[in-house]
Structure 1
Amino acid sequence: SLRMMAPSRPLFIFLALWAVTQCMAFTGAFHSLLPHRSMLALSPLVRPRRHVARLGGLSMLRNEYDLVVVGAGPTGLTAALSAASAGKTAVIIDATPKKQVQFSGPTGLYSKALRDTAKKIDVGVLRNMGVRDTAVWRQVQEMTSEVLKESGLSNLAAIQAGNIPHLRGTARLTGEKSEGGGHAVDVTFLETDRSVQVYGQNVLIATGSSPWRVDTVPYDDERVFDSDTIKTLGFLPKTVAIVGAGIIAIEYAKIFSRLDCKVTLIVRGKSLATALTRIGIDPDIALELQRDLCLNKVRIIFDAEIDEVQAPPKGSDTNRPLSISLKQPGTGAKKPNLTVKSHVLMTATGRQANTRGLDLEAAGVELDKGGNVAVDGLLQTTLPNIYASGDVLGPPSLASTGIEQALAVSRTMFGMETEGTFGWREPDTNYDPRSLMSDPLKYPIGIWTLPEMAFIGSTKASALENGLGGGGGGG
């Protein structure tokens, strides 16, 4: 057991490492998969020094590092803190926009924070009491922002505890090397347009992913959003239309339903099970999700996709709805007499790797057909000592998977003995997405609906296929 006394440096960094995984996981469903030490709190031990974030870490900057991390989501932070705990030098390069709280978690943390707020505020009751929607939404925004801010400060404290400099800017691999063999990375600062070059004996690409945007949808980030820009929503809508059938679409459908919005879910396939089974969710669980949505009065339109969106002029009264006409997928035939009126439209139709501007291919790092970074089982790219982890590798795009991959990369780079996120370690384990998703015991899934659900292990179908019996249902 750990004695609570003045922590030694290795213990202090260890606590910082597990604090960041705790923060990024956000709720207890994922915590239950972590070792009990992850529940130790970091906040009483350290306070963030705000000036370091403002200066971009220049006061601690050197020229060459054992590890250069590009991206400061849960994957990148875990790798950097792992390196620091092994006595290695690391630097984090992060292109978080100026107006956004740095280190405030993965994109998915916003939906978790909004979900948490929706559980605490009964919008229907407040509306019946005569409280204006503007006042309700202001409270929702403040509570959600507070969660993101706390996450950012906790993560900032963790990297400061490990003496890890962080540069707020864009990164580009040049293909050059230092005399010591380090890979060159050019960094252009967001605030000043100044640039600096750093070298890494190892480089980790952990830049995450962005939503795919539908060609026929006129995004304006005022009434029409993707699953990232929805966080800029500036009012409490009465009706919301969501395009998609994956986990993100279902999570937001439940969140907005809880916020007293009438929700319409537009699904390209003929059932939710069709989409969800592709990412390893048991059909029985998928049907249960569908039933739960219907019980919560979420309207689901199957076998449809967007044909045209007619939006009021930008800046119009938010009470004026959008007009969304639908068509048959694949055929282009319009759905007769089927037009959805909604105050807000959000699409959640998949994600793509954030590789633009990194010049990966010019440096010798190959991408696969889907635009994801190509890696081997140890997560090394086609260029030696350059690795990639997390969403930039493609599906499943889960924070838990990215954290596990970051720990695996740390073991490979530095020969570390680290405990896996899922509580065990087997020799010769591959951590590329295909290998992880093919082994149900290494691929936990969390769905942050209301109520949430999580599972790990074989689906009923795969259990029967492998002769494991199966009198029960579910996953």
Structure 2
Amino acid sequence: MADFDLFVIGAGSGGVRAARVSAAYGARVAIAEEYRVGGTCVIRGCVPKKLLVYGAHFAEDLEDAAMFGWDVPKKRFDWPTLRDNVLAEVTRIEAAYTDTLTNHEVTIFRERAEITGPNAIRLASGKQVTADKILIATGATPVMPKIEGIEHAISSNEVFLLDALPKRIVIAGGGYIASEFAGIFHQFGSHVTLVNRTDVILRQYDQQIVDRLIQISLRKGIDFKFHSTIDKIDRRDDGSLHISMTGCDDIEASALLFATGRKPNTSGLGLEAAGVEMGEKGQIKVDADNRSSVPSIFAVGDVTDRIQLTPVAIREAQAFADTFFGNTPHQVDYSCVPSAVFSHPPLAGVGMTEGEARNKLGQIKTYTSDFRAMKNALAGRDERSLYKLVVDGSNDRIVGIHMIGPDAPEILQAAAVAIKGKLKKSDFDATVALHPTMAEELVLMR
């Protein structure tokens, strides 16, 4: 008999969920993690980043407070205080994740694990174990370009550990990580330059919403260098960086953050030797039940490069555990996955963008609400929100909801139910508005 029914490699959100639920069903489960329990999301991703976002919002809130009658005589930001408090909260959550595993009698190996066969694992300590099923949940890792001086740059892994707030930071990339940290560091007082090799950012989001973010960001003072690439990085004697560019003038900066994508973290796991089929990006190819080309080896989360979002990894892990240990087989539906960018202001979307809907459906209708939030109006802040509904012209069904503005992700979570439930525009029209809110705009568009 194998040592375990299930051996999970990687204790991130997906791995922990699969381990906990499988153990709750009565399986003998072990999990191996070479760094810290919690994975990217908890340790160096969405959780600490969202806490930085909260901290950054105080910059404008304190400015706006005067118009609401509050006397805030002094405003000073201290990066080490926020950094250390965020890291302490991460440590607390890590302990909670560990307790969850321990309480479900999951064996935790705090070391690297590699696959040596369809049912065999070798730990870094040399210990050999066997399992009926092996689940890979090792996530993804930042992509760093191979250019001269790259050792002077940082990735999103190190950004939470900076000794000091950079006076001038260059951020390379056009995705959500680049956009989020551009907003965060700008609000903290850094001069931010965002460099992208094309003129397109946030490609998967509705273009009208993205254009609004760019307009607001430019007015705030964020500098964009489109159609530009970084060729070389030199560190000066005073610690500053000289960044040699193509497409624009060279840039002097205090720090350089690369946020140019993430690749599946599959290197050195022994997958090829075990016969696991891999994709061009190093991702593990799996079927709808998360099974790889080797029947006893499975994978969930970013390591499969399907949709790199924490809630998706958790859904995949839940489906895996339910199917193979809970006797309730089911598969993940990827057709209605909401997502958000915690920029300043944040944006969020679910379903088809206007462009996607036109290409797929042909006949569509769009409804928009372009307004200034009540709080911004009183504060004298000329920043406008934009909400959009994309509707199938043939049947009135809402196929996409997209928005940018304060609390847009919080509002969209509830609105995403409408897409999943295949509600029509007439259902929104028949819903009484909750006034005064920003969310009421969703049911007032005509």
TM bin (shorter chain): 0.7 to 0.9
Q: What is the aligned counterpart of 1:148 among 90, 95, 112?
A: 90
Task: Tell me what 1:172 maps to.
Answer: 114
Aligned partners of 2:57, 2:215: CA distance in 1, in Å? 20
8 Å CA contact 1:103–1:156 kept in 2: the answer is no
1:471 partner SS: strand
Which amino acid in 2 is paired with 1:258? Q
**Gapped regions of structure 1 (runs ≥ 5):** 1-61, 177-182, 189-193, 329-334, 419-426
1:456 partner SS: strand
Q: What is the aligned counterpart of 1:386 among 297, 306, 325?
A: 297
Task: Tell me what 2:366 maps to.
Answer: 471
| TM-score, length basis structure 2 | 0.74
**Gapped regions of structure 2 (runs ≥ 5):** 64-72, 369-387, 389-401, 403-446
Equivalent residues in 2 for 1:47-446, closer than 5 Å: 64-96=3-35, 105=42, 107-108=44-45, 109-120=47-58, 136-175=78-117, 183-188=119-124, 194-216=125-147, 218-220=149-151, 224-272=153-201, 276-277=202-203, 280-313=204-237, 316=238, 318=239, 321-328=240-247, 335=248, 338-417=249-328, 429=331, 436=334, 439=335, 441=336, 443-446=337-340
Residue 150 of structure 1 deviates from its aligned partner by 1.9
1:169 partner SS: coil
8 Å CA contact 2:34–2:110 kept in 1: the answer is yes
8 Å CA contact 1:113–1:148 kept in 2: the answer is no
Aligned partners of 1:408, 1:417: CA distance in 2, in Å? 9
2:174 partner SS: coil
| TM-score, length basis structure 1 | 0.70
Identity of aligned residues (%): 27
Q: What is the aligned counterpart of 2:347 among 453, 456, 463?
A: 453
Task: Tell me what 1:15 maps to.
Answer: none
Which amino acid in 1 is paired with 2:304? L
* CA distance 1:406–1:217, change in 2 (3 Å): farther
For residues 198-243 of structure 1, what are the alpha-carbon distances to aligned partners after superposition, in whole Å with 9 as ceiling and x for unaligned?
22211110001111111225233xx521122222311111111000
Task: Tell me what 1:54 maps to.
Answer: none
Residue 69 of structure 1 deviates from its aligned partner by 0.7
Aligned partners of 2:60, 2:86: CA distance in 1, in Å? 15
Aligned partners of 1:102, 1:173: CA distance in 2, in Å? 20
Which amino acid in 1 is paired with 2:19? A
Aligned partners of 1:281, 1:304: CA distance in 2, in Å? 22
Aligned partners of 1:455, 1:294: CA distance in 2, in Å? 22
Which amino acid in 2 is paired with 1:138? P
Task: Tell me what 1:11 maps to.
Answer: none
How many residues matched? 359
Which moves more between the two structures, 109-118 or 397-406?
Answer: 109-118
